[in-house]
Amino acid sequence: MKEFKVTPIRNGTVIDHIGVGMALKVLRIIGVREDVSSTVSVLMHVPSKKGSWKDIVKIEDRELDPKELDKVALISPDATINIIRDYNVAEKFVVEVPERVKGIMRCSNPGCITNQNEPVEPEFVVEAKKPLALRCKYCDRLTTDIAENIV
C-alpha cells in the first residue's frame, strides 16, 4: 500500500507543482495566517514525477477564488490547482498568468502615484512571462520582484 506523508483531504484546495521553496510565499499571498481556521499542510522539497523538486500546499475546507489563483500564478506560474470535493478531484487546472494584474500587487516604484493615498488599485500589464515582468499602468515602471510586492 502506498504510504502518504500527508493524508488526502476531504474538501478544499490542493496547490501542486509550486516552485521549490515558494510554498511559504504562496501561503502568504493567499492570506493564510496564524488565525487560520482550517487545517493547512505544507510540503516542501517533494520529489516530482518529472524528476525534479516541488512544493505542495493543501488547504482544507476552502476553495480559492480566481483572484487568489492569479496571485499564485504570479509567483509560481507552473502550479496546478486541484479543487477537492468529498475526496475526489472535482476540478483541476494549471494557473495562468493573467494579461493584466489589478489590485493584488503594489508598484515597486516608491515615487508612483499609486503608492500615495489615492483611491485607485494598482494595475499592471504583463510585459514578459518568463521571467515575469509587470509594467505599471500609471508610472510605466517595470516590476520584476513580484513576491516582494504582492499585497
Positions in the binding site for another protein (CB under 8 A): 107, 109, 111-114, 116-120, 136-142
Q: Are 143 and 108 in contact (CB under 8 A)?
A: yes
Q: Quick one: 96 or 140, whose CB is closer to another protein?
A: 140
Of 70, 92, 96, the C-alpha closest to 81 is: 92
Give least dist CB 25 to another protein, A: 26
Of 57, 75, 95, 87, the C-alpha closest to 144 is: 75
Q: Quick one: 51 or 110, whose CB is closer to another protein?
A: 110
CA 38 distance to own-chain centroid: 18
Give least dist CB 112 to another protein, A: 5
Give least dist CB 114 to another protein, A: 6
Of 48, 53, 50, the C-alpha closest to 21 is: 53
Give least dist CB 122 to another protein, A: 9
Q: Quick one: 28 or 141, whose CB is closer to another protein?
A: 141
* CA–CA distance, 125 with 123 (Å, rounded to integer): 7
Q: Quick one: 41 or 115, whose CB is closer to another protein?
A: 115
